[in-house]
Structure 1
Amino acid sequence: MNPALRIDHVRLTPVLVKDPPLLNTQGVHQPLTPRLVVEVVTAGGVVGLGETYGDTKYLDLARPLAEALPGRLVTDVNGLFVLAAEVCGTAAAKDADGRVDAGGLRGVQTADKLLLSVVSAVETACLDALGRSLGLPVHALLGGRVRDEVEYSAYLFYKWGAHPGAAPEEADPWGEALDPAGLVEQARRFARLHGFGSFKLKGGVFAPDREIAAIRALAEAFPGAPLRLDPNGAWSVETSLAVARELEGLPALEYLEDPATGTAAMAEVAAGTHLPLATNMCVTTLAEVPEAFARGAVSIVLCDHHYWGGLHRTRELAALCGTYGIGLSMHSNTHLGISLAAMTQVAATLPALHHACDTHYPWLTEDVITTAPVFRAGRLAVTDTPGLGVELDRDRLADLHRRWAEDDGRYRDRDDAAAMRAADPEWRPTRW
């Protein structure tokens, strides 16, 4: 094996990135959100990029893993899982406390889920370095692309016009969206700017009848455009079924995503409606697959390379879904351009990607890459540039890291509930 493919060192750079006041069932996005940029540097001087969550619990795992990587080959991505368990297992178990992870709304947090999110960034960086070394795009390392473009969906949010306590000049340029008219205008702007032809609404914020009205307004404003509604498990089984009955006659509705929390509740909802149910919460690891598939709890799984442990694991999930006749889409959390490039590379290799992928990316005003990707007709072209096809803007990376270094700890761990209580100290998450 070429010694130039051996890892010399790994750089970890946590950053804080501006985030709009987007509402969800856990609260509201804080003004800044943490991300972690991973650079795997080979003995040949090639630098591979990866990205994942930047909260303290992820950093605490990434640091010992980074220290253990020098001397290993960037081709040894399968060995990352064993290595991570060896060097990070105790810390991961300590951090996994069984709470709902507000940062990703991914269901019950476990040690395995924390580790997989860290490994995903290292695996991506290794593949990026390998692709750059060989002159091949990452999709070629995954077996080759099956499409030239990847379709994405506009991600609609109820939102405030500004963060609590913000000065007038800090108002969010997208303005407020708290009713159907505001969401329709938001969707029109997404369509105008990026050409998106499908729309997903983050629900669980208001009473279900208000969110039903929003979906109906979107269906009227965009005839035939595929729609999704995701309340992040905020509804009871009874409420989920009531909403399903209201929306079953709406041809544009592709699916309800995680209307209720947990596989048992999802299975009960699925048994009572013809609407497809998607999940990003009750199936986020292989261990959660057998029960959910056997009970018919979901029709569609939203893959996410951060959750599943990387790009190869995402392809394994896709094959498993194909075997059981389960549809496939792609989940998104607040991410930078490195993750978007990785999402696009792996999505290009999935033959049975049945629905447009989610992405938060158009909401962000800051990034660490030199050239922002351009959505055309809601799609991103699949690049053949070696590796992921993106380059670091080191000045911008340094600026965003400086912001993290100077933070007093307020924003180093995402906490949507704390941000909401800054506006309303009595606020508590609502379940309908």
Structure 2
Amino acid sequence: MTADLTITDVRLTPVLVSDPPLLNTQGVHQPYAARLIVEIVTAGGITGFGETYGDTKYLDLARPLAEALPGRQVTDLNGLFALAATVEVDAARMGSADVGGQRGVQTADKLRLSVVSAFEVACLDALGKARELPVHALLGHKVRDRVEYSAYLFHRWEQHPGGQGESDDWGAATDPAGIVAQARRFARDHGFRSFKLKGGVYEPAEEIAAVRALAAAFPDAPLRLDPNGAWSVPTSIEVAEELRDVLQYLEDPTTGTPGMAEVASRTGVPLATNMCVTTFPEIPEAFATGAVQVVLSDHHYWGGLGRTRELAAVCRTFGVGLSMHSNTHLGISLAAMTHVAATVPNLDYACDSHYPWQSEDVLTGRLTFRDGCLDVSDAPGLGIEVDRDRLAVLHRRWLDDDGTMRDRDDAAAMRRADPGWVAPSVPRW
């Protein structure tokens, strides 16, 4: 008997998850990051899970969408996108805050896509469970059994200012030696074989030194550097020339497609982006001008797993490399990311993941990296199980928060250490 796939209920559970004091050009991560867990329940008693950003503006979009879904089929993904397009956006509440990486003003369409991504994943999870198929099978089946990930290195403090947040045993990393020590631990504990450093924190010369130290410590490892657009075009060119012999690619050294195109035309270092190409309308200019050689997809930004596969096909058509971007996320998003990555033939580079930095999750068991890879689950749906007790604890933290942690603000977090801090405009250097 075929299970009834009519949606009967949609549950939204915002949570606050512990986040370490990781530094970037805008400031430092807050002690807790907001995520939104989406549950879609069918008439047949099957529940599917999705996850996305939990900031207030995403909740404002998710709530009316959740209210409109009951009575629809989990298979109607095209209808899901059409329905999301009708959700009204309060421009004043939307503001210009970033979704987690200095990507500037977020349009209503971009916000909708990040919200819809969680609903689409939840529908696919429920559908996979109903049909006893893994999500990757619903996307055309996997082309690889394991997906490779890259270690994500950060300059960081030992603890948050004022003793806020949860403690960890990583210690500080504010110089090249600290970055190398961090990389050695990632390699030891998770087997990562490539490394990405979040830059834009210190003067370019200091970050060049950190990359050089990594190259000396890991002479055969692919290395990436991402300053989140903190540099001018001339500075970007200088750094690219300094590191051209050791970088696999340089990610978003400067802001905007024209600036990226100029840097690309004047250096031999491949440029990657998850800033100037985050939607399909941004592709033509970037590809026509040669501004990017690698697109870092993110199923949240692009609207889910199906659209990530569409992006992969476009990149394949134009000979542009593909990898995957990451932000602070839990195991639901990582599982979804792994399923879609397993189906993409032209996954040219190891994917990013913040997951090893996250000490908390809503799953019954953490996803485990082996040799820097995640095995692709063949269990029905996403192949994960949510721990209801843990979900409740993290939701209670969100409920108890006074509002200061519900919206990401790296500059505000930095002001706890430096009251005079103002998020710098870019380029910084």
How far apart, CA to CA, are the structure 1 residues paired with 2:314 and 2:45?
A: 37
1:279 corresponds to: 273
How far apart, CA to CA, are the structure 2 residues paired with 1:89 and 1:265?
A: 34
C-alpha deviation, 1:171, in angstroms: 4.2
Which 4+ residue blocks in structure 1 deviate beyond 6 angstroms? none
State yes or no: 1:126 paired with 2:155. no
1:268 corresponds to: 262
- TM-superposition CA deviations, 1:104-160 (whole Å, max 9, x none): 433431111100000000000000000000000000000000000000000000000
How far apart, CA to CA, are the structure 2 residues paired with 1:246 and 1:100?
A: 33
- TM-superposition CA deviations, 1:62-118 (whole Å, max 9, x none): 0000000000000011111110111x2333x45444x35152433431111100000
Equivalent residue of 1:4, what SS? coil
Out of 397, 405, 414, the position equivalent to 1:403 is 397
Out of 308, 327, 339, the position equivalent to 1:314 is 308
Letter in 1 for 2:128: G
**2:147, 2:374 within 8 Å by CA — same for their partners in 1?**
yes
Out of 173, 176, 182, the position equivalent to 1:180 is 176
2:242 corresponds to: 246
How far apart, CA to CA, are the structure 2 residues paired with 1:425 and 1:220?
A: 37
- TM-superposition CA deviations, 1:14-72 (whole Å, max 9, x none): 00000000001111001111000000000001000000000000000000000000000
How far apart, CA to CA, are the structure 2 residues paired with 1:26 and 1:4?
A: 48
How far apart, CA to CA, are the structure 2 residues paired with 1:341 and 1:105?
A: 25
State yes or no: 1:376 paired with 2:373. no
Alignment of 1:49-60 (within 5 A): 49-60=49-60
Equivalent residue of 2:88, what SS? helix
Alignment of 1:41-120 (within 5 A): 41-86=41-86, 88-91=87-90, 93-97=91-95, 99=96, 101=98, 103-120=100-117
State yes or no: 1:237 paired with 2:233. yes
How far apart, CA to CA, are the structure 2 residues paired with 1:96 and 1:266?
A: 28
How far apart, CA to CA, are the structure 2 residues paired with 1:249 and 1:347?
A: 28
Equivalent residue of 2:73, what SS? coil
C-alpha deviation, 1:190, in angstroms: 0.4
- The alignment's C-alpha RMSD in Å is 1.4
Letter in 2 for 1:405: L
**1:26, 1:102 within 8 Å by CA — same for their partners in 2?**
no
Gaps of 5+ in 2: none
**1:149, 1:379 within 8 Å by CA — same for their partners in 2?**
yes
Letter in 2 for 1:35: R
Q: What percentage of residue pairs aligned between the two structures are identical?
A: 72
**1:153, 1:200 within 8 Å by CA — same for their partners in 2?**
yes
C-alpha deviation, 1:428, in angstroms: 2.8
**2:8, 2:71 within 8 Å by CA — same for their partners in 1?**
yes
How far apart, CA to CA, are the structure 2 residues paired with 1:208 and 1:410?
A: 32
1:32 corresponds to: 32
TM-score (norm 1): 0.96
**2:101, 2:228 within 8 Å by CA — same for their partners in 1?**
no
Q: Count residues with an aligned counterpart.
A: 426
State yes or no: 1:359 paired with 2:353. yes
How far apart, CA to CA, are the structure 1 residues paired with 2:283 and 2:336?
A: 24
- TM-superposition CA deviations, 1:196-231 (whole Å, max 9, x none): 000000000000000000000000000110000000
- TM-superposition CA deviations, 1:289-316 (whole Å, max 9, x none): 1111111100000000000000000000
State yes or no: 1:151 paired with 2:148. yes
Letter in 2 for 1:21: P
Gaps of 5+ in 1: none
How far apart, CA to CA, are the structure 2 residues paired with 1:15 and 1:383?
A: 25
**1:369, 1:390 within 8 Å by CA — same for their partners in 2?**
yes
